[in-house]
Chains A and B, each alone.
Chain A
Amino acid sequence: MNGTAVLHSIIDGVLTGSVYALMATGLTLIFGVMNIINVAQGIFVILGAYLSYALSVHLGIDLFVGLLITIPTLFVVGIVVERLFLTRIKGPERVVMSILVTYAVSLVIEGILNLVFSTNYVELHAWYVNRSVKFLGIYLGYIYLLGFAMAVVLLAALYVMLYRTRFGTSVRASLADQTSAALVGINVRRVSTICFGIGIAVTAAGGMIYGATNAFNASSSYDLISRLLVIIVLGGMGSLGGALVAGIMMVTIEDLVGVVWGPVWSSLSFFLILVVVLSLRPQGLFGKRSVRVA
């Protein structure tokens, strides 16, 4: 272990963590507004990666340019899934039922992806995927830097939407209290549907970076969803800022532990941090003390 390796792992962690933060923000937005735990978020990330793969391999479209197609596509997929399956879940068991329904959705999408793309691992390729730049004596992959820039831009866009637009105000009000939001004339149903679409749309961007930095198949979604759930629970369910901080923090610590104590400890540390933090703060880092249910 040396200083450069530690610095490298920290920078890598921040760059990769920002992409996880983006994907987790979508997940926590969905929970905060809708009281739905979308365990299909992992498979939507993989769907986004496969869409980028298909556009890149079959049509020769650049990975980042392809986002102009994959992000709107997944937004529409999200709205269709919400309208078809999630609007029917009502009542006090909504949270639990949402896990079962989105898990079923996840299994169906996984099956379709296995049929279409087979179970063989694939990777996304572009001229910048395997190139790097030297900075402070360490090599940083273009794809990680581009992924970080993309995550920052999309998170900033999300922030502007939430805090500078009328729709954003209605989202924040719905996040805080759906009944009160309805009583000032906010169409909470419509806000929920659009938020689900946005929450899924960001997985297209996350999926592209994931696919460019990892070999993947449909089953890769299981590792992803466990990480994303850890991030939003640690940040505080429904807290957008919490997802951002926890996403960057967890991946950075995981990378750092991998360098300092060895790779075998890195995954363990990811979940160990969750256990320790939750034993001290059951509501997560930025969560409200009581989680709203139904």
Chain B
Amino acid sequence: MTSSTPFLRFEGIVAGYGGGDVLKGVDFAVQEHGVTCIVGPNGSGKSTLLKTVSGLLHPRLGQILFKGTPLVGKTPREILKLGIVQVPQQHSLFREMSVEENVVLGAFLVRDRAEVSRRLASVREMFPIVATRAKDKAGSLSGGQQRLVEFARCLMLEPELVVLDEPSMGLDPKTLRTMFDTVKMMNEMGRTVLLVEQNARQALKLSHHGVVLENGQVRLTGTGREVLDNPEIGTLYLGGTFHATPPATNATPMKETD
């Protein structure tokens, strides 16, 4: 990848489910090694956008480039092979399979058994629950525990880009903190993270970049703090103006995209 090639770029994405377009021309870029958080009201197309990245939904128009490689038209399997893993909004563990079976499935595309074992050992260290509840059925775990196992599973592929669709959904406040800490840890390990979050305040606080989606289009982009500090966005989507830091007099103006 040359320095001028963005890590992930959405170019004029138009997509929907047959009953009209949900995304109406989405353009923005995701920076490598950063955490990018997409926020916006319900129905703005956040989850739909993530589905176009993982290949679950093919856009009607537009292109998504991952390190210059077009993603549109590729299957979820082909996209995984490029190093992009998605953890969907709804719990996606196979409930009747054991925790370990679920985690190993994360490396389904890796044929080398020794390599899978090495990765499993590494993931066990990061997520002790993978070792302590290895033989338990995944369906017997709490919502928060399932989310951690899903994170562990997605790391089995050693992805370059981790796509998280509302990872905090249904979690209690304590588990929520653990979950966000884990997102931070994944990023510190060198993974680029693209996430959609309803819990926008906390998510934007740990994000390097923020994107506001509204009616299927990008309303604003900026750093996580810029989005948090924007009074209009705070009122509209974050339940009132929220200052993560004292307003800076020399803050970089937020880039308005439309």
Contact = CB atoms under 8 A, between A and B. Distances in A.
Interface of A: 166, 169-170, 172-173, 176-177, 179-180, 182-187
The list of the 3 closest CB pairs from A to B, nearest first, reads A180-B92, A185-B109, A182-B76
A169 B105 contact: yes
Interface stretch (B6-14, B80-88, B171-179, B238-246): B80-88
B94 A177 contact: yes
Contacts of B76: 182-183, 185
Contacts of A169: 101, 105, 108
A187 B92 contact: no
Interface string B107-125: 0110000000000000000
Given A169-B105, A184-B106, A186-B108, A176 B88 contact: no
Given A172-B97, A176-B95, A179-B56, A184 B88 contact: no
A55 B88 CA distance: 52
Given A183-B88, A185-B77, 9 more contacts: A176-B94, A176-B95, A179-B88, A180-B88, A183-B85, A184-B108, A184-B153, A185-B108, A185-B157
Contacts of A187: 75, 77
Nearest to B54: A183
Nearest to B77: A185
Given A169-B101, A169-B105, A179 B92 contact: yes
A109 B86 CA distance: 44
B92 A173 contact: no
A38 B85 CA distance: 34
A208 B105 CA distance: 38
Interface string B144-183: 0000000001000100000000000000000000000000
Nearest to B157: A185
Nearest to A190: B77
B96 interface: yes
A169 B102 CA distance: 10
Contact of B56 (A176, A177, A182): A182
A19 B60 CA distance: 49
A179 B56 CA distance: 8
A183 B92 contact: yes
Contacts of A173: 94, 97, 105
Contacts of B54: 183
B112 to A, nearest CB: 13
Interface residues of B, number: 24
Contacts of A180: 88, 92-94
B242 to A, nearest CB: 33
Contacts of A182: 55-56, 75-77
A179 B81 CA distance: 17
A166 B107 CA distance: 12
B170 to A, nearest CB: 16
B80 A185 contact: yes
Contacts of A183: 54, 56, 76, 80, 85-86, 88, 92
A172 B93 CA distance: 12
A13 B109 CA distance: 44
B167 to A, nearest CB: 14
Contacts of B81: 185
Nearest to B94: A176
B150 to A, nearest CB: 9
Contacts of A170: 108
B77 A172 contact: no
A162 B87 CA distance: 25
